[in-house]
Amino acid sequence: MTTPDIAWPRRTERLELRLPTAESLDEVMVWRNDPDVTRWLIRTVVEPEAFRSAWLASVADPTDHAAVVHLDGTAIGIASVEVRDGLGQREGDEPWHGVEGSLGYTFAPAYAGKGLATEVASALLDLAFDELGLLRVTAGCFAANTASWRVMEKLGMRREQHGVRDSWHAELGWIDGYTYGILAEEWAARSFGR
C-alpha cells in the first residue's frame, strides 16, 4: 500500500497530536488502566510493555495512524485511524482495497467532558479524508458508552448499526453495540459549514 507522507505533530485548537514515543506512552500508562477508562473499552486492562510495543510499532505501519494527544505538553489521550479494506467482490480492480478507516479515541478521565475527544476525532477525520483519501470512516462502541457515541454524533457521524446484545462486556454480559459511519463527501459538506 502506498501511503502519503503524513506530517506530525498536528495541532488542533487546544491540543497537539504527536507520534507515540516510549516516554509519552509511559505517561499514558499512568491513567490507561484506570477503571473509568477501561469500563467501556474492548481492550480493557493492558500490559504496559505490550501496549508500549504495539503503539510504537504503529509509527512504521502505513495502515495505522496513531497519535498521543498532548495538552500543554501532558499526554492526556490516545487516538487513531486504522486503514482497512471495505467490503467488495474479489474481482477486477478491487477498488475496496484500503478505503475505510476505523476511528478510536481514549482520554484520561480528568480531561473528560471538555470537548477534547471531539476536537481530536475531528482532526483525525480531516486526516482520513483530506490526506489519506478514504471513502468512509467508522467507529464502534457499546451502546451504554454515551460519551463515545455523543462524540460521533457531534461530528455528524450516522448511527449505521444497532447490534442487539452483540457485544460482550465482562461485568454486564451481552449488551448492545453501535456502529457509526461517515462518508468523505458528508465530511466535506460539513466542513464547509464550520
Question: Which residues fall within 8 angstroms of residue 54, CB to CB, at 6 or more apart?
Answer: none
Specify the 3-state DSSP secondary structure of 105.
strand
Strands 136-142 and 100-107, bridge-based pairing = parallel
Stretch that binds ligand COA, among 20-28, 57-65, 88-96, 106-114 (CB under 6 A): 106-114
Please name the residue that has the C-alpha cell 495502515: 63
Task: State which residue, 43 or 97, has the beta carbon closest to ligand COA.
Answer: 43
CA–CA gap between residue 154 and residue 115 (Å, rounded): 10
Of 57, 115, 172, 185, the residue at the interface with ligand COA (CB under 6 A) is: 115
Cα angle 179, 57, 128; round to 5: 40
Of 35, 73, 113, 193, the residue at the interface with ligand COA (CB under 6 A) is: 113
Closest by CA position to 14, among listed 80, 79, 73: 73
Asked if residue 40 binds ligand COA (CB under 6 A), the reply is yes
Neighbours of 53 (CB within 10 A): 13
CB of 146 to ligand COA, least distance (A): 4
Closest by CA position to 75, among listed 63, 88, 66, 86: 66
Asked if residue 105 binds ligand COA (CB under 6 A), the reply is yes
Of 58, 118, 163, 191, the residue at the interface with ligand COA (CB under 6 A) is: 118
Q: Which of residues 44-103 bind ligand COA (CB under 6 A)?
A: none
Bridge partner list, 137: 101, 182
Task: State which residue, 134 or 179, has the beta carbon closest to ligand COA.
Answer: 179
Of 83, 103, 116, 123, the residue at the interface with ligand COA (CB under 6 A) is: 116
Asked if residue 148 binds ligand COA (CB under 6 A), the reply is yes
Question: Which residues fall within 8 angstroms of residue 70, CB to CB, at 6 or more apart?
Answer: 15, 16, 17, 18, 24, 76
Asked if residue 41 binds ligand COA (CB under 6 A), the reply is yes
Asked if residue 33 binds ligand COA (CB under 6 A), the reply is no
Asked if residue 146 binds ligand COA (CB under 6 A), the reply is yes
Question: In the complex, which residues of this chain contact ligand COA (CB under 6 A)?
Answer: 37, 40-41, 105-107, 112-118, 141, 145-148, 150-151
